[in-house]
Amino acid sequence: MRPHMKPVLLVSECLAGTRCRYDGSSAEDPFVRRIMPFCEVRTACPETGIGLGVPRPPIRLVTDGSGGALLVQPSTGMDLTAAMSAFCRQVLSDPGSLDGAVLKSRSPSCGISDARVFSGADGPARAGTGPGIFGRAVLEAMGGRPVIHEGRLSNLRLREHFMTSLFTLARFRSAERECSERRSLGPLVSFHASAKLLLSAYNREEGRRMGRLVADGGPGAESAYRAALVRALARPLRTGRAVDALMHAFGYFKRDLSSAEKALFLDSLEDFGAGRTAMGIPGALIRSWIVRFGTAYLDDQIIFDPYPPALAGTEDSARGEAPPR
């Protein structure tokens, strides 16, 4: 197993523990605190970034009547939309340098899907929910790379998917850098070999196209491969195909395992296939056998070591949405 590259992760500053919310509190998130040492973290607080103080009168999104939203501060009547848009352009001026983002749910600035949108600057009438101004800009800039809010991180499967995509993209970035330093596609070929089982679990068709890109190796192969990798990892893995990949690996050890070990694996695989647990559980058994038997081909497969083991956990809210604010 090789060391994990540090992904570049954009984080809403209040999730990292800064007391920058409108009421002077933080929204420190235990998982964000856990993942931070394994990442190169860039924090941003869009509201203090445009000069609002702490504490500050609340701001809200107000529908503009044509599918968009304005950011206003009802107590002062200020329209903050232009200032926030300028902040977004400044912070996201080099989006290609980011591997992923964790943003605060339900915020009119940082929310990615669930911020309240009101009918007017005053009154309780709601027009629906949507992304905040910064959240929308991050989603557009990231072009399919992983962006999540902290509420979804409490769901084991969504968290596994997020971490797998994040650390795989960081590993690819490192291979891409090596390709340009060595003027060789060798690192890309090695990366693809390591990603084979992962891609077969996520998106087999895209994985085959990526294999052809590597084999053809024409000009622009790395950038076309990067775009395909982002597409392949955009949606969570397909459980049935992940079960196939795990069974394929299990085949390497079958003859060397006791009946009890085989039964333990098959039980955990059944739980994963039925949605009762995440892939990390049967994956950890395979990883332990890779170490025990020194199986070289599997040793480098990303699917069995997708993110730092210290981040693995079984806590699961089984919910995809944020806790009440």
Nearer to ligand SF4, 84 or 246 (CB): 84
And the tokens for 213? 């890109």
Nearer to ligand SF4, 56 or 171 (CB): 56
Nearer to ligand SF4, 78 or 189 (CB): 78
Rg (CA), the chain: 22
Question: What values do phi and psi take at 132, rounded to 5?
Answer: -75, 175
Angle value at C-alpha 53, between 52 and 55, nearest 5 degrees: 125
Nearer to ligand SF4, 15 or 158 (CB): 15
Which residue ranges make up the site for ligand SF4 (CB under 6 A)? 12-14, 20-21, 45-47, 104, 107, 109-110
Distance between CA atoms of residues 207 and 225, nearest Å: 10
Nearer to ligand SF4, 12 or 155 (CB): 12
In angstroms, what is the minimal distance from the CB of 96 to ligand SF4?
A: 22
In angstroms, what is the minimal distance from the CB of 40 to ligand SF4?
A: 18
Residue nearest to ligand SF4 (CB): 14
Nearer to ligand SF4, 20 or 302 (CB): 20
Residue with tokens 């990949």: 245
In angstroms, what is the minimal distance from the CB of 133 to ligand SF4?
A: 10
Q: Spell 144-161 as b/e; 16+ CB within 10 A means b.
A: ebbbbbbbbbbbbbbbbb
In angstroms, what is the minimal distance from the CB of 112 to ligand SF4?
A: 11
In angstroms, what is the minimal distance from the CB of 61 to ligand SF4?
A: 12
What region does 123 belong to: left with phi over 0, alpha with psi -120 to 50, or beta? left
Tell me if 162 sits within 8 A of 100, measured CB to CB: yes
DSSP-H helix ranges across 38-80: 46-49
In angstroms, what is the minimal distance from the CB of 275 to ligand SF4?
A: 32
